[in-house]
A and B are shown apart, each in its own frame.
Chain A
Amino acid sequence: MLMQTTLYDKLWDSHAVHSEEDGTTLLYIDRHLVHEVTSPQAFDGLKLAGRKVWRINANLAVADHNVPTTDRSQGIEDPVSRLQVDTLDKNCAEHGINEFKMNDPRQGIVHVIGPEQGATLPGMTLVCGDSHTSTHGALACLAFGIGTSEVEHVLATQTLIARKARNMLVNIEGPLPRGVSSKDLSLAFIGQIGTAGGTGYAIEYAGSTVRALSMEARMTLCNMSIEAGARAGMIAADDTTINYVRGRPFAPQGPMWDHAVNYWRTLKSDPGSKFDRVVEIDARTVKPQVTWGTSPEMVVAVDGRVPDPEKEKDASRREGMERALKYMGLEPNAPIQNIRVDKVFIGSCTNSRIEDLRAAAAYVQGKRIASNIRLALVVPGSGLVKREAEREGLDRIFRDAGFEWREPGCSMCLGMNDDKLAAGERSASTSNRNFEGRQGAGSRTHLVSPAMAAAAAIAGHFVDVRTWR
């Protein structure tokens, strides 16, 4: 009798080149995405050892972390950032790697452009020197973030030395309430299992809620897997997946398309597959989420209050909460909707796709940002997302409301360019990490969905988008 296997098992097994007795496996990598921050030392290592790139056309490169989101006609002003981007250009030219340069209309955040170009395909193994590579698992592939030594390893051998993770199923059932997005699902899930809850697991998201999500929404869900501690998150292939991939520049065409689709249809867990852990979520009970602390697990619903450390029995958790509240400048028990924000950031590999911008624009149309908002930024995930948004007139809606409409990149998610919070400044941000200093030294980040960020910009504080008008 055949064993029922999970999607993760199938993807893993079909890429195992060689296995050692202890389970260490040489895993074949189909696609490697490269960006400027985690690759220079890898290319250097390659050169030092006199090694070549194993399969050049498996790689696709783009600069995203350091690039300015303002006028790019004069290049990059910061000499340190410029050197890093120049180094990527030089390394790609030297090895013949396909790179979307800063002024290419296809340039954008690496996790936005992969799927957008069809460079991310179902059934692949895909890696990138960035932890949010889990995003791509939305297309039924095994995608995970790696460090620089592993980047070098993939460049040199087209494989990685890896050990299989355990299987976790996150089963989400029921219709999503109005005003609630996959970002809220994700934050609620992380609040439930904690930022280390998924450590050592590969997550598969399934259930009626997930099947009804668009590809963009699925990418948001998989993107945040790493914030739950899981290196990879994935979703079975279905019509939504296949329709999304169809016609994209790197996708197969003609008879090969049909051949590929036949295979992709098999990319799902067999009924009755065994998972090491199962988490059930009832989507109908999920509310818009707002993080209050310095870890994504420090999250409450928008109609809630800042938690009170005094009610926490575990001493180490209590200390963590106290430290977070002090850093965030928040009082215990304060209603979340009383928190006023200084800056609003709509962007990042989590929430910068066209659907995210549409969701945000719906709350902005015909309004103005509140007087206490010092800066409200919209940073599209790619040049093509930007172009599409402009075609739909979303840029006008944002600009008319007082938002700045920028060029694509990682931007204020991590502030490697000029887009930062000053010390003590508070943001409503659609990004993925609220760590201390993440958006600038002393920055205070509240993670929210695009709709929640947009509404906070207009109201000047957090509001419940389910009822706010």
Chain B
Amino acid sequence: MEKFTVHTGVVCPMDRANVDTDAIIPKQFLKSIKRTGFGPNLFDAWRYLDVGEPDKENAGRPLNRDFVLNQPRYKGASILIARKNFGCGSSREHAPWALADYGFRAVIAPSFGDIFFTNSFKTGFLPIVLSDLQLDHIFHACAAFPGYRLTIDLPQQTVNLPDGKAFNFEIDPFRKYCMVNGLDDIGLTLRHAEKITAFEIKRKLEQPWLFGNHAS
């Protein structure tokens, strides 16, 4: 997993509430058995005027010029800002994969779908919660200044604005530790392998029906 420490990047505004993971990456692309390559189909139905398919070349497809990702001023954006309940719906981890594959490193919103939020950390893609008021401020500034950039400082847990403001954000210490160090959490969990085994043995004694008698 890619480490996340301090990142500065162009901000792309997605001024919508309840952006669901079906919108982030439509179902036809979920047929892939890989973790990569979803970037060109990120927000496919909003980004293109035709219907995308997994085997379709994306280069020549007609673009929806009104859609934010297609506007020249947001070219190369790596920080997405959005409204409440971003990433609601389906558990598809393909959503943060697609956002990361496109080049986004972080998304800032007032709230997130729970599963999307969890999945994002596993991808090295940072979801940040700020208040509605703080996001209003960023949305306004982003509209006013082309090429608007933010700096996200994960060790300090701040979003730094060009006007000198800094917004603090919360993150679980364990998640922060994994993100900052780019750690694979399976490796970390397996440090507790003996504890898991001991728990399992006890459980097998107490509730043996969970361990045997399997139809096949």
Contact = CB atoms under 8 A, between A and B. Distances in A.
The answer to whether A binds B is: yes
A210 B215 CA distance: 31
Given A37-B30, A123-B207, A17 B195 contact: yes
B47 interface: no
Contacts of B190: 156-157
B119 A149 contact: yes
A145 B89 CA distance: 11
A200 B118 CA distance: 12
Contacts of B23: 435-437
Contacts of B115: 131, 145-147, 226, 231
Interface string B44-84: 01000001001100000000000000000000000000011
B16 A20 contact: no
B8 interface: no
Contact of A295 (B18, B55, B119): B18
A311 B17 CA distance: 19
Contacts of A323: 16
Contacts of A152: 186
B9 interface: no
Contact of B88 (A150, A159, A196): A196
A20 B84 CA distance: 29
Interface size class of A (residues with CB under 8 A): 35 or more
A147 B209 contact: no
Contacts of A156: 186, 189-190
Interface of chain A: mostly helix, strand, loop or mixed? loop
Interface in B105-135: 111-115, 118-119, 122-123
Interface string A112-143: 00000110010110000111010000000000
Given A129-B91, A157-B189, A435-B89, A147 B118 contact: yes
A124 B207 CA distance: 10
Contact of A320 (B18, B51, B210): B18
Contacts of A81: 31
Nearest to A410: B27
A435 B22 contact: yes
A335 B115 CA distance: 36
Interface stretch (B141-149, B153-161, B196-204): B196-204
Contacts of B54: 80
Interface residues of B, number: 62
B83 A316 contact: yes
Contact of A121 (B20, B26, B184, B210): B210
A26 B196 contact: yes
Interface in B169-216: 172-174, 184-186, 189-190, 192-193, 195-196, 199-200, 203, 207-211, 213-216
A249 B213 CA distance: 9
A259 B207 CA distance: 8
A28 B33 contact: no
A250 B214 contact: yes
Nearest to A295: B18
B101 interface: no
B83 A263 contact: no
Contacts of B30: 37, 65, 416
Interface in B1-19: 16-18
A37 B25 CA distance: 13
Interface string A150-168: 1011001111010101000
A260 B20 contact: no
Contact of B91 (A84, A130, A200): A130
Contact of A147 (B32, B33, B93, B184): B93
Contact of B90 (A44, A131, A256, A436): A131
Given A55-B200, A80-B54, 19 more contacts: A24-B173, A28-B196, A38-B92, A41-B34, A51-B186, A83-B31, A118-B215, A121-B209, A130-B90, A131-B115, A148-B94, A149-B93, A149-B122, A153-B189, A195-B85, A199-B114, A317-B17, A436-B23, A442-B51
18 contacts: A20-B173, A22-B173, A26-B189, A28-B203, A30-B210, A66-B31, A98-B216, A123-B207, A130-B91, A146-B115, A156-B189, A158-B196, A195-B85, A200-B114, A251-B209, A295-B20, A416-B28, A436-B45
